[in-house]
Amino acid sequence: MASQDHIRNPIEWGWGQISHVALAVGSLPRSLLGGEEAKPAPLPVRRIDVADLRGVLLKGLDDFAAYRTDVIFLCLIYPLAGIALLRLTFGYDMLPLIFPLAAGFALIGPAAAVGLYEMSRRREQGRRISWLDAFGVLSSPRFGAIFVLALVLLAIFALWLVAADGIYQATLGRQAPASLAALVRDALTTPAGWAMIIVGMGVGFLFALLVLTISVVSFPLLLDRDVGLLTAVETSIHAVAENPGPMAAWGLIVAGSLLLGSIPAFLGLIVVVPVLGHATWHLYRKVVV
């Protein structure tokens, strides 16, 4: 117990995290495949109703309320990252990507919230936690698999931006808009703009469906059990296949909440991301047997 009460200085804590990452990288093959006798196969899942999502969200709110100071501090990175993306957008005449960037948070959200899953996991175990415990992910034996899956989502996000830029050029042309107001006007008042919106929403839906299918329970599962990456992804696919209605509703809740949280200079993400992150952990616990 004494070791748990020991307060480490920043250098000691940082070195500990680096050591955990080094061990995780060394065990990458095992983290991708799971235990030695494990075979890639989906775990059994429960069927849930759309009504069950209310309970999941309430538990997410409860976790947020219990540790709101810690998670707000932790999640300050999201609006800061959003503002940085906005400055990049405006600085390089990439205004057409401002809305795809905001919508794209739903594609990388499951990976961005992995520290929140860890906090909910520890709270469920009755352990005292703080925002630093979010970095407990680094010491997970499956950190390698978590990192690889996060890279997959990042690649999907990049492909979405390429697709969104192609849709813009195919409908409104290669010339960048003179201002944000001009972009909104062209998008909402011209046939080409409406075509861009309709096609963009359709393509964006396919990207979101892909991410939802492969990641809705895979990140929490990797944190919680000794399974490999393939098993986690297959279990996520299985969970969506068994619960198409509730999972579709969950996807809409996540996408809509992240989009709304992104609109006021991304500041709403300080609340939206932790609530959804904690709720995702409880969704996993509800679905996977």
Task: Provide CB contacts within 8 A for 110, sequence distance 6+.
Answer: 153, 211, 215, 216, 218, 219, 280
**Under a CB-based contact definition with an 8 Å cutoff, are residues 232 and 218 in contact?**
yes
**Under a CB-based contact definition with an 8 Å cutoff, are residues 25 and 33 in contact?**
no
State both tokens at 45. 């899942």
Tell me, what's the pLDDT at 80?
57
Task: To the nearest 10°, report the CA torsion of 12, 18, 20, 24.
Answer: 180
Tens digit of each residue's pLDDT (9 = 90 or more) over 112-171:
888 888 888 888 877 776 656 666 666 777 788 888 999 999 899 889 988 998 999 898
Question: Residue 94 — φ and ψ, nearest 5°?
Answer: -110, 35
**Under a CB-based contact definition with an 8 Å cutoff, are residues 47 and 243 in contact?**
yes
Question: Residue 288 — φ and ψ, nearest 5°?
Answer: -85, 130
**Averages of pLDDT over each 10 residues, the chain, 289 residues:** 44 44 50 54 91 93 74 55 56 69 79 84 76 64 85 90 90 79 85 91 92 93 90 94 94 84 69 86 93
Tell me, what's the pLDDT at 70?
52
Q: How far apart are CA 109 and CA 212, in angstroms?
A: 10
Q: How far apart are CA 246 and CA 248, in angstroms?
A: 5
